[in-house]
Amino acid sequence: MFPLIISLIYDPILMKLFPPTPIVIIPVEVSWRCYMVTDVSGASALLDGIRRKMLRYLCSTAAKYKCFLSHGFIHQRGMHSRNKKAMELVAKGWNALKEVDRVIDYTEPTDPRLHPHFRTAKENFELALETDNSNTHARYWLARLHIRYKCPGACPAIGAALLVEAANMGDSDAQYELGCHLRFEVDFYILFQNGGAPVESDQKAFYYLQKAVDQLHPGALYLLGAVYLAGDCVKKDIALAICCFHKASKKGHTGAAIAYGSLLLKGAKVPEDLTKLNNSKKRFGAKLSKQNFEISEDPIDLASEQFQVAAEAGCDLGLRWLKILEYEEKLSSIG
């Protein structure tokens, strides 16, 4: 019988070709890749040894070239690359929309000179969704493009559907935007339950605003504070309104800072939870600096801090309030 040279990866096929006759594999080279096959006994032990040697070789090669044997790592790496590519496309579309926002006040919304920017934004957002269908940012910005701008091919119904999808997927910006539309544009943005009955738009708006508030969205915090302050659709609660304004002000929302400062000047009391938080910060700061410092509880000082936050963010109303407080302080010192 002539010797047969085979590769290790074909040894199961060889066992099927010669099932009745025991075989032994005799190495003819130093390398593990090629072997001579003859019709003798004792094949199983040598085959097990060769498999172990092959496994050691594969592991050493993987360690040498830093490659992975598991397909899970490659799959995760592919997901990461798709997400990264989608975010790059979203950034390109966002830049195009920012350019539109920069010049749209000086021209007509339907000016043909804006069409290239609209086209760039729309194409990039759609490509981002094709690259990563789970990207909520692409859904939100594409919905915003369809709803807010008068670009070629804009469809408010498509924008509403995309906005609902992004909100249900957990995007805080989409939840806040949808809550605003449901509250102020009831006729167009009424949602339907499974049975086809219309959902009360105010209740649904409050639901999505609460979802955005859970993620500490500053705009949603401000709007929810306004709802509690006015007692619209919910029981009027000044303490909850102040808490919402306080958190939104910490996030840099100028409207919340102005509202918070105005309530303090009107005599509204700071909730006990916020007072306890300030006291804990005072004790913690005293331990760090080893010197006692007090957080002012004067309503005028607290309001001035809020107006300062708004003024630093570029709000003219905050600056006007600071000037009024400064003028009142000068009058009180003279008197």
pLDDT for 131-153, tens place per residue? 888 899 999 999 999 999 988 88
| Phi-psi sector, 231: left (phi>0), alpha (psi -120 to 50), beta | left
CA–CA distance, 215 with 210 (Å, rounded to integer):
9
* pLDDT tens-place string over residues 159-171: 888 999 999 999 9
pTM score, whole prediction = 0.65
Q: Which domains does the chain have, with CATH numbers?
A: 4-65 (no CATH), 76-215 (1.25.40.10), 245-335 (no CATH)
Query: Token pair of 284, please?
Result: 């913690």
Strand order in the sheet with 24-27: 4-6, 35-38, 24-27
Question: Which residues have C-beta within 8 Å of that of residue 134, sequence separation ≥ 6?
Answer: 169
pLDDT at 140: 94
Cα–Cα distance between 223 and 220 in angstroms, integer?
5
Q: Is the model more confident about 240 or about 4?
A: 240
- Rg of the chain in Å (alpha carbons): 34
What pLDDT, on a 0 to 100 scale, did the predictor assign at position 284? 37
- What is the spatial distance between Cα 208 and Cα 194, in angstroms, rounded to a whole number? 18
Local structure of residue 35 (DSSP, 8 states): E
- Ordered DSSP codes for 225-284: HHHHHHTSSS---HHHHHHHHHHHHHTT-HHHHHHHHHHHHTTPPPPHHHHHHHHHHHHH
pLDDT value at residue 300: 86
pLDDT at 108 over 80: yes
d(CA 313, CA 68): 50
